[in-house]
A = this chain, B = another copy of it.
């Protein structure tokens, strides 16, 4: 069964912004990230070390990491597509790096122009690089299985292929394997099933986080299913920023506000102040006025008498 406390990993500055048509200026990004951290978010994926030609929205990622590290108690996560990106992440001082391995090889080639073997080779090279670092400078290294619940190009991916890739990433030396519903194809049954299957192969402690989308409205139901399996880290983005370029009007990421509300309503501590979190939407809307912001709780307001999860008492 589920844990009493979950970690909400805000991915808006990365997964959200990289899907936006315009580029958020550095100072706006930092203002937004600081507000998110002030609302109680303890992990934020602040950017991606990819070519600025491909994703100009991410061009200032190194500067963002350096600046965001000054925020007390915040874990800085970044995405990297290869060894070069990982080196830049280490240089900037990121605490967590995620390498995406799309279980659909077609999607992997379109997304980061690498075959499965090439991504695994990058993972091996990244681990070798990380091993030479002093322990204090070594970021946590996650391999993330993208399109794990189906691909918009290939459709469903055979489970044996997914399990084999999870094993290969772990063998390469990743600290943990994440499961990503990149396409919003997952459902509560497939989420539960795949978590159990991957854990069965690589161990329960190697699968603690999921990256779920809300493209078909099942985001929170899928998060609940994952929570019931004991998953403790959930990716989401403020206002569901990110969308899905191929599905106008359908949000991409799970809306952080609604996700926090669900857990807090259930008495599960997120550490997030919902009112402060909802107030962050104004900063985002001001900086990116053309983006549609999603979320039910910000519109409906909190229930009368809503208290959220009890705040844990610090033990001295």
Contact = CB atoms under 8 A, between A and B. Distances in A.
A178 interface: no
A230 interface: no
B215 A300 contact: yes
A221 interface: yes
Interface in A278-311: 295-297, 299-301, 303-305
A218 interface: yes
Contacts of A189: 265-267
B265 A303 contact: no
A184 interface: yes
A144 interface: no
Interface in A244-285: 244, 247-251, 255, 258, 261-262, 265-267
Interface residues of A, number: 46
A204 interface: no
A187 interface: yes
Contacts of A300: 184, 215-216, 244, 247, 250
A299 B250 contact: yes
Contact of A265 (B190, B220, B265): B190
A164 to B, nearest CB: 21
Contacts of A187: 262, 265-266
Interface in A165-214: 183-185, 187-190, 214
A297 B217 CA distance: 7
A223 B217 CA distance: 13
Nearest to A190: B265
A225 interface: yes
A299 B224 CA distance: 23
A151 to B, nearest CB: 7
A12 interface: no
Given A189-B265, A217-B258, A250-B300, 10 more contacts: A150-B304, A154-B304, A155-B303, A188-B224, A216-B297, A217-B261, A217-B262, A221-B224, A224-B224, A244-B300
Contacts of A215: 296, 300
A217 B247 contact: no
B152 A304 contact: yes
A154 B154 CA distance: 52
A254 to B, nearest CB: 10
20 contacts: A151-B304, A156-B305, A187-B265, A187-B266, A188-B262, A190-B265, A190-B266, A215-B296, A216-B303, A217-B220, A217-B262, A217-B296, A218-B261, A218-B262, A218-B265, A221-B262, A244-B300, A247-B300, A250-B299, A251-B296
